[in-house]
Amino acid sequence: MKILVIGSGGREHALCWKLAQSKGVEVFASPGNPGIEEIATCLPSGGGSTLQPDLTVVGPEAPLVEGVVDHFREKGLRVVGPTRQAAQLEGSKTVAKHFFEQSGIPTAQFMTVDNAEDARRALDRFGFPVVFKADGLAAGKGVIIAHNRAQAEAARGALHGRLIIEEFLRGEEVSFIALCDGRDALPLAPTQDHKAVFDGDKGPNTGGMGAYCDSHILTEAQTRHILDCVILPTVERTKFTGFLYAGLMMTAEGPKVLEFNVRLGDPETQPLMHRMTSDFVPALMAAAEGKLGGAQLEWRSGPSVCVVLASAGYPGAYESGKPIRGIAAAEKRGVTVFQAGTRLGTRGLETAGGRVLGVTASGADLPAAIAAAYRGVDCVTFEGMHYRRDIGRKGLSYSKA
């Protein structure tokens, strides 16, 4: 069976790594990256459809919003992902917020803002802190939390075009991802991302500096509630296919949706794939064929942790072309190093993006998984490398429970 993965980041490396462990599967990636090249065949961008794959999984949001799923389906190809129209739930924050409102899905109160007068009214209504969101795709970086008027002014200057201003929610964030087939939804294990660049959730937001996957993040009752109140109403109303990712804030009043993504998270996919023990292919195939009912996934009992190693300056401007050392030594210590922003230069592997690597480990419990991941991190170096030292730390309070 030929399976094609579209994309080139750490999420796609983790997916290819998992799929390559399935029997009778040949994995292709378009365009892939040097890490993926070691376990799969990489094809140029856009080269995937001529392959006639038996199954395609789309990683990033941009091709989904452009309609790659519609295009593959027109050719009669099986594909896991939402249609162009359903992808608008991620492609436009205003579309998403109106959808939440109309569907009774719990979310932060908000106002759509087109000018200074609208912004003034929103600030009067919500007070500080308050959240500014750009309407379109922004790779996780289109959200600014303003704590005073000066920061609110700066946020309005930094985010162009139509904005959403919304109430600030307090609580723990959870990434809840479900594989959907237009009718049914199969939840993946819960994960927690770390969006801010520095320890203690300080500094600007990034695409994600690390994630962990642990069954303790949600109780069974919370999982059921999220399925019933957020995921299934969305699947029913939009006939959603592919991965529906609800970024949730677990507030004192219950879970509220911060955003929908219409694909797997990056870096959440890295610990998810590390922790999943079942063969992923039957569930993906069932989702693509609209026959998900009854499908199940198994997970290790212990958690998994992924620490992202980033280039100096990220999430702002950064330099590329820095030689990367120590991946093999890290893997000897039992971690899996998923590659994201890397390329092969004349001197070997070098940096080629903001988020460069995702060092991923599993353990019997959360302290063990965290320690294992950082033992791997200690082996890797490139000039200017920075990373958070507190990935998974919030979860330590649950894992003692």
Of 215 and 261, which has the nearer Cβ to ligand AMP? 261
266 binds ligand AMP (CB under 6 A): no
22 versus 251: smaller Cβ distance to ligand AMP? 251
Alpha-helix runs per DSSP H in 104-192: 116-126, 149-158
Minimum Å gap between C-beta 145 and ligand AMP is 6
Least distance in Å: CB of 353 to ligand AMP? 20
How big is the site for ligand AMP, counted in residues (CB under 6 A)?
14
The amino acid present at 334, given as its one-letter code, is G
Residue 259 sits in the site that holds ligand AMP (CB under 6 A): yes
Please state the closest distance from residue 56 (CB atom) to ligand AMP, in A.
26
Tell which residue, 308, 382, 306, 314, has the closest CA to residue 354: 314
Give the shortest CB-35-to-ligand AMP separation in angstroms: 26
Q: Is residue 199 within 8 Å of residue 388, measured between CB atoms?
A: yes
State in angstroms the smallest separation of the CB of 59 from ligand AMP.
Answer: 18
What is the SS3 assignment for 42?
A: strand
DSSP structural state of residue 21: T
The CB-side HSE value for 350 (13 A sphere, CA atoms) comes to 11
Cβ atoms of 59 and 38 closer than 8 Å: no
Stretch 214-253 residues interacting with ligand AMP (CB under 6 A): 247
SS3 assignment, position 377: helix
Can you tell me the distance from the alpha carbon of 338 to that of 306, in angstroms, rounded to the nearest whole number?
9
169 binds ligand AMP (CB under 6 A): yes
Q: How does DSSP classify residue 276?
A: B
- Picking from 140, 118, 133, 122, the residue whose alpha carbon sits closest to that of residue 163 is 133
**Which range binds ligand AMP by CB under 6 A, 166-174, 210-218, 289-297, 367-375?**
166-174
Distance in Å, CB of 216 to ligand AMP, minimum = 20
SS3 content of the chain, % helix, strand, coil (to 5): 35, 30, 40
Indicate the residue whose CB is closest to ligand AMP.
259
Amino acid at position 161, single letter: G
Between 132 and 387, whose beta carbon lies closer to ligand AMP? 132
In angstroms, the CA 146 to CA 149 distance is 8
Among 61, 166, 214, 266, binds ligand AMP (CB under 6 A): 166
Nearest approach in angstroms of CB 64 to ligand AMP is 16
Q: Indicate the angle between helix axes 149-158 and 116-126, nearest 10 degrees.
A: 140
Cα dihedral 249, 210, 35, 272 sign = negative
Is 398 among the residues that bind ligand AMP (CB under 6 A)?
Answer: no
Cα 213 from Cα 263, distance rounded (Å) = 17
Question: Does position 53 bind ligand AMP by CB under 6 A?
Answer: no
Q: What residues have CB less than 8 Å from 72, skipping those under 6 apart?
A: 49, 56, 79
CB of 51 to ligand AMP, least distance (A): 33
Nearer to ligand AMP, 209 or 356 (CB): 209
Does 173 interact with ligand AMP (rule: CB under 6 A)? yes
62, 95, 118, 168: which one binds ligand AMP (CB under 6 A): 168
* Binding segment (CB under 6 A) for ligand AMP, from list 116-124, 162-170, 272-280, 330-338: 162-170
156/322 with CB nearer ligand AMP: 156
Note whether 195 binds ligand AMP by CB under 6 A. yes
Residues 129-158 that bind ligand AMP (CB under 6 A): 131, 133, 140, 143
Q: Give me the least distance between CB of 231 and ligand AMP, in Å please.
A: 16
Of 49 and 92, nearer to ligand AMP (C-beta) is: 92
Phi-psi region of 44 (alpha: psi -120 to 50; beta: other; left: phi over 0): beta
Contact 249, 38 (CB under 8 A): no
Of 83, 88, 205, 241, the one binding ligand AMP by CB under 6 A: 205
- 309 vs 299: CA distance, rounded Å: 26
Is residue 108 at the binding interface for ligand AMP, with CB under 6 A as the rule? yes
Our CB check for ligand AMP shows the closer of 276 and 391 to be: 391
Question: What is the CA angle 306-312-314, rounded to 5?
Answer: 70
* Interface residues toward ligand AMP, by CB under 6 A: 108, 131, 133, 140, 143, 166, 168-169, 173, 195, 205, 247, 258-259
